[in-house]
């Protein structure tokens, strides 16, 4: 009935994904014992943050967590052809990554594309099915003139035709209203004989209302996080949603003393990461118009604060929907949330819209991220690309195979396929991490030799 998101989206939305593996392992067995159908513990920003900021091996995190799970399935969030990075990767990288994710413990893969371009999901769905994982196709939900109920039903049909086992309505900005939630869940249930899961955020105060409507419409699974890592920019809190849902249908009995233990532990864990905390103490109605998702909002606040420009937040939130409209109403989820967000910041700081244009926006306009939901403003295309024409085919078809090239570049620093993928996905950040780990290993090896030989290396 429930997927717990505390150890992925919960801390990604509230403390910039900073929870360390040891803090997850300190309570994961207690969470696992409560009867969740899945625990979302990997994917999203966790891969990048482990390497870039925490000096942790994301693959080792996955292995350690999955080894602890006796009841719930280990679930991850995959960005289709973007994997867990910020650009499209070649098909050979996608194939190896999906294969290794499953080998290292992932049982459910929730796959989405920021533009709802089915072409960007086909390879990852194909490989995940072949490797025996439960494949969940996710609809990136947003609000715009082109994003109608019929639009979402058509996209769900495309997912079902590719063989997904379940469908998730992924409402990353918390914009799903009770009326739309009920109608969309009801029609998905009528049209497709598959489990329907609903994922929302409480940022704008709509998440809990949408969940109630989804329950009444027959949703099979809801995403929640324990209250210390729930609400505001995260998912609705597990405790009240469980209590409310139990009035509609019989749910498995829950050990509330164990819930108390988990909540107290996680409350202390969140305090440890206070410097990264979004510290959002109430809903933000501005999200209804800016449509900024939880993780994007927390990172936006942090980045503006670091630049001592937090006073520009309101202006940026007003600019984001304008940029989004210009670019054809892309849903705001990684990587399009970063693409739109950074450009909005530039537009505000420079004082002139599109005076400076990021490389990512240029690639987006070229079609390298996929097909926008609506046509991009023609004048903007001309301003950004000049006489260059956007591509029309599947974006990944324009990318040469990468793995052999990456193997040669990284050399001995990559001892395993998992290491190779860290470099292939994260580039220089991944290389620096692997080099540091290699240097530390060499120092340890020589210290052992020196001790054995009385101080003289062989």
Task: Report d(CA 367, CA 345) in Å as an integer.
Answer: 22
Number of structural domains the chain divides into: 3
For residue 457, the model assigns a pLDDT of 47
Looking at the fold, whether 268 and 341 belong to one and the same domain comes out as no
For residue 302, the model assigns a pLDDT of 77
| Most confidently modeled range among 148-152, 279-283, 313-317 | 148-152
Q: Which residue has the tokens 């966790």?
A: 46
Looking at the fold, whether 170 and 232 belong to one and the same domain comes out as yes
Please answer whether residues 155 and 184 qualify as being in contact, where contact means their C-beta atoms are separated by less than 8 angstroms: no
Task: Report d(CA 137, CA 157) in Å as an integer.
Answer: 10
Looking at the fold, whether 369 and 418 belong to one and the same domain comes out as no
Which domain CATH number covers 342? 1.10.472.90
Alpha helices in 307-416, H assignment, sequence order: 313-326, 336-350, 359-366, 378-385, 403-410
For residue 109, the model assigns a pLDDT of 98
Final residue in a domain of this structure, among 222, 249, 276: 276
For residue 63, the model assigns a pLDDT of 98
298-307, 327-336, 340-349, 386-395: least confident range: 298-307
- pLDDT tens track for 172-210: 989 999 999 999 999 999 999 999 999 999 999 999 999
Looking at the fold, whether 243 and 369 belong to one and the same domain comes out as no
Residue 282 inside a domain? The answer is no
Looking at the fold, whether 413 and 364 belong to one and the same domain comes out as no
Final residue in a domain of this structure, among 251, 276, 301: 276
> How would residue 458 be classed by pLDDT, with cut points 50, 70 and 90?
very low
Please answer whether residues 383 and 108 qualify as being in contact, where contact means their C-beta atoms are separated by less than 8 angstroms: no
Looking at the fold, whether 316 and 360 belong to one and the same domain comes out as yes
Residue 284 inside a domain? The answer is no
Assess whether pLDDT exceeds 60 at residue 449: no
Looking at the fold, whether 121 and 101 belong to one and the same domain comes out as yes
Assess whether pLDDT exceeds 60 at residue 447: no
Please answer whether residues 76 and 40 qualify as being in contact, where contact means their C-beta atoms are separated by less than 8 angstroms: yes
Assess whether pLDDT exceeds 90 at residue 433: yes
Angle between helices 336-350 and 294-306 in degrees, nearest 10 = 40
Q: What percent of the chain has pLDDT over 90?
A: 80
Please answer whether residues 406 and 428 qualify as being in contact, where contact means their C-beta atoms are separated by less than 8 angstroms: no
Cα distances from 328 to residues 179, 338, 381, 393, in angstroms, run 25, 15, 11, 18
Residue 387 inside a domain? The answer is yes
Residue 203 CB-half CA count within 13 A: 28
Final residue in a domain of this structure, among 218, 246, 276: 276
Q: What is the largest CA-CA distance in the chain?
A: 76
Residue 307 inside a domain? The answer is yes
> How would residue 446 be classed by pLDDT, with cut points 50, 70 and 90?
low
> How would residue 453 be classed by pLDDT, with cut points 50, 70 and 90?
low
> How would residue 451 be classed by pLDDT, with cut points 50, 70 and 90?
low
For residue 94, the model assigns a pLDDT of 98
The pTM of the full predicted model, rounded to 2 decimals, is: 0.91
Residue 68 inside a domain? The answer is yes
* Range list of β-strands (E), 155-207: 166-170, 196-199
For residue 323, the model assigns a pLDDT of 94
- pLDDT tens track for 100-126: 999 999 999 999 999 999 999 999 999
Looking at the fold, whether 320 and 374 belong to one and the same domain comes out as yes
For residue 290, the model assigns a pLDDT of 72
Instruction: List the domain range (segments joined by +) for residue 339.
Output: 292-396
Residue 149 inside a domain? The answer is yes
Residue 304 inside a domain? The answer is yes
The whole-number average pLDDT for the span 348-367 is 93
55-59, 240-244, 261-265, 286-290: least confident range: 286-290
Assess whether pLDDT exceeds 80 at residue 395: yes
């Amino acid at each position: 009935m429930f997927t717990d998101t505390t150890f992925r989206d919960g801390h990604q939305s509230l403390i910039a994904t900073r929870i360390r593996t040891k803090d997850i392992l300190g309570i994961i067995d207690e969470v696992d014992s409560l009867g969740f159908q899945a625990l979302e513990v990997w994917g999203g920003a966790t891969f990048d943050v482990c390497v870039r900021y925490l000096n942790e091996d994301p693959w080792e995190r996955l292995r350690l967590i999955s080894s602890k799970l006796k009841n719930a399935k280990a679930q991850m969030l995959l960005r289709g052809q973007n994997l867990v990075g910020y650009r499209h990767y070649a098909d050979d990288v996608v194939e190896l990554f999906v294969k290794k994710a499953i080998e290292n413990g992932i049982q459910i893969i929730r796959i989405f594309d920021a533009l709802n371009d089915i072409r960007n999901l086909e390879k990852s769905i194909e490989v995940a099915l072949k490797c025996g994982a439960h494949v969940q196709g996710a609809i990136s939900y947003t609000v715009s003139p082109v994003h109608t109920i019929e639009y979402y039903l058509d996209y769900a049909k495309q997912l079902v035709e590719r063989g997904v086992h379940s469908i998730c309505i992924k409402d990353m900005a918390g914009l799903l209203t009770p009326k739309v939630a009920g109608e969309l869940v009801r029609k998905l249930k009528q049209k497709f004989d598959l489990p329907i899961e609903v994922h929302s955020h409480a940022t704008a105060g709509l998440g809990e209302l949408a969940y109630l409507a989804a329950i009444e419409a027959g949703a099979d699974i809801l995403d929640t996080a324990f209250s210390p890592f729930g609400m505001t920019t995260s998912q609705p809190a597990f405790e009240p949603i469980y209590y409310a849902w139990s009035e509609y249908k019989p749910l498995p009995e829950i050990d509330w003393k164990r819930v108390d233990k988990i909540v107290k532990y996680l409350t202390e864990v969140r305090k440890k990461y206070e410097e990264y905390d979004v510290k959002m103490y109430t809903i933000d109605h501005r999200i209804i118009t800016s449509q900024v998702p939880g993780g994007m909002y927390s990172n936006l606040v942090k980045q503006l604060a670091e630049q001592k420009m937090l006073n520009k937040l309101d202006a940026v939130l007003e600019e984001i929907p304008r940029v989004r409209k210009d670019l054809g109403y892309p849903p705001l989820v990684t990587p399009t949330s970063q693409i739109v967000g950074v450009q909005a910041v530039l537009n505000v700081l420079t004082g002139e819209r599109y005076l400076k244009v990021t490389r990512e926006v240029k690639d987006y306009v070229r079609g390298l991220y996929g097909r926008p939901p609506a046509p991009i403003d023609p004048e903007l295309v001309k301003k950004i690309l000049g006489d260059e024409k956007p591509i029309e085919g599947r974006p990944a078809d324009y990318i040469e195979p990468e793995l052999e090239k990456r193997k040669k570049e990284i050399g001995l620093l990559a001892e395993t396929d998992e290491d190779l993928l860290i470099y292939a996905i994260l580039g220089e950040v991944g290389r620096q991490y692997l080099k540091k780990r290699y240097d530390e290993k060499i120092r340890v090896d020589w210290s052992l030799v020196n001790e054995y030989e009385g101080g003289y290396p062989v």
